[in-house]
Amino acid sequence: MMSTCIFRNFQLKTGGIPIARRSDHLTSRDILAHLSAPFVRPSVAPHPHSSSHFHSSHIHSYHTHSSSASLPISGVYHISHLSSFFFPLKRFGIDSKSLHYTSIIMSTRSSKRQKTGEDQPYELIYWPTLPGRGEHIRLAFEASGTPYSDISNESKEGINAVLEQISDKNLGNDNGPPPLAPPILRHGSNVLISQTPNILLYLGPKLGLTPDTDNDPVGAYHINALTLTALDGLSNEAHDTHHPIATGDYYEDQKPESLKKAKDYRNNRLPKFLGYFQRVLEGPASKGGEYLYGGQLTYADLVLFQTVDGVIFAFPKCLAALRSSGKFDKVFAHYERVKAHEKIKAYLESDRRMKYGNGIYRHYPELDGED
Is residue 22 within 8 A of residue 166, CB to CB? The reply is no
Cβ-proximal residues to 308 (8 Å cutoff; 6+ apart), any chain? 234, 331, 332, 335
First to last CA, the chain: 38
Residues 277-290, mean pLDDT to the nearest whole number: 98
The per-residue pLDDT for range 178-191, each reduced to its tens digit, is 999 999 999 999 99
φ/ψ region of 152 (left if φ > 0, alpha if ψ in -120 to 50, else beta) reads alpha
Is residue 65 within 8 A of residue 47, CB to CB? The reply is no
Residue 360 above 70 pLDDT? yes
Hey, where are the domains in the chain? 122-207, 218-342
Q: What is the pLDDT of residue 99?
A: 36
What H or E segment, with its residue span, contains residue 191?
A: strand 191-194
Q: What is the pLDDT of residue 266?
A: 98
Is the whole model's pTM more than 0.85, yes or no? Answer: no
Q: What is the pLDDT of residue 33?
A: 44
Across the chain, mean pLDDT equals 77
In angstroms and rounded to an integer, the radius of gyration of the C-alpha atoms of the chain is 21
Residues 159-174, mean pLDDT to the nearest whole number: 95
Residue 16 above 90 pLDDT? no
Residue 27 above 90 pLDDT? no
- CA atoms within 13 A of residue 328's CA, in its CB half-sphere: 20
Residues 292-309, mean pLDDT to the nearest whole number: 99
Residue 284 above 70 pLDDT? yes
Binning pLDDT at 50, 70 and 90, where does residue 156 land? confident
Q: What is the pLDDT of residue 119?
A: 75
Q: What is the pLDDT of residue 118?
A: 63
Residues 180, 168: Cα–Cα separation, whole Å? 9
Residues 281, 330: Cα–Cα separation, whole Å? 7
